[in-house]
Amino acid sequence: MTENKARVVVVTGGSRGIGRAICQTMASADTQIFFNYFSPADREGEEAAAAETIKQVEHAGGTATGFWANVADQAEVSAFVDQVMEAAGRIDVWVNNAGITRDGLLARMKASEWDAVLDINLKGPFLCTQMVARIMAGQRSGRIINMASVVGVMGNIGQSNYVAAKAGLIGLTKTVAREYAARGITVNAVAPGFIDTDMTKVLPEKVKEKMIASVPLGRMGSPEDVAGVVAFLASDAAGYMTGQVLHVSGGMYM
């Protein structure tokens, strides 16, 4: 294979929301973008969503390829990483963005809701990071960026599963940052607040109003607000940062 000079960026959960905005924000003529998605409930809808991400990246002057793969499944993650390596030969930036919610008060939470959220939001980043860190260690360079949440630091009523996963992801970030610093890999987390995506569209209007009232900047964030910070962490300007959590929450946490 000839040497690939393009920067290779991989985003998990790139078919919608924040992941799509990251793909679009990082698109450029000298960047190859790969992303995955996984929604057995509406495969047709997700294929269309993935095609929209590719269209937006191309519109921004870049190229993107989407793969069907579940981040919580080791064999599927392995196949996804292999496909990226076959196509691009290296991985410079990996963004663990894929995530879900299954909200409910602790007293009523089902073990299946706990497992689903922990599997995708925490085991997924573990599986991906383990495979990708090995590749980046060989390259002696790489950036891993984990999508945490402000609630992973503050806690939140009705989200014990999600908060535990995001707090765990922050712990994973700091540990992998320490383990791989000597290999030239930085590992950081972004902690978004209340962002306008499909994940928050389902919330009742009253809950949304209450949440916005708790944001000092007085509005929901946009997926682009988060994507800009991810692009910064992936840039040369952030080369001396590792093990950090950057809050993008309009001041919800300070």
Residues that bind ligand NAP (CB under 6 A): 12-19, 36-39, 46, 70-72, 97-100, 120, 147, 149, 192, 194-195, 197-200
> Exactly one of 37, 162, 180, 240 is catalytic; which is it?
162
> Which is nearer to ligand NAP, 29 or 254 (by Cβ)?
254
Could you tell me the maximum CA-CA distance found in the chain, to the nearest angstrom? 57
H/E run at residue 199: helix 198-201
Burial 172-193 (b: 16+ CB within 10 A, else e): bbbebbeebeeeebbbbbbbbb
Nearest approach, Cβ of 69 to ligand NAP (angstroms)?
6
Nearest approach, Cβ of 70 to ligand NAP (angstroms)?
4
Nearest approach, Cβ of 121 to ligand NAP (angstroms)?
6
> Which is nearer to ligand NAP, 215 or 241 (by Cβ)?
215
Ramachandran region, residue 140 (left: φ > 0; alpha: ψ -120 to 50; beta: rest):
left
Sign of CA dihedral 238, 72, 168, 183: negative
**Active-site residue, 37 included:** no
> Which is nearer to ligand NAP, 177 or 190 (by Cβ)?
190
> Which is nearer to ligand NAP, 89 or 104 (by Cβ)?
104
Nearest approach, Cβ of 122 to ligand NAP (angstroms)?
10
Question: Which residues form the catalytic set?
Answer: 162
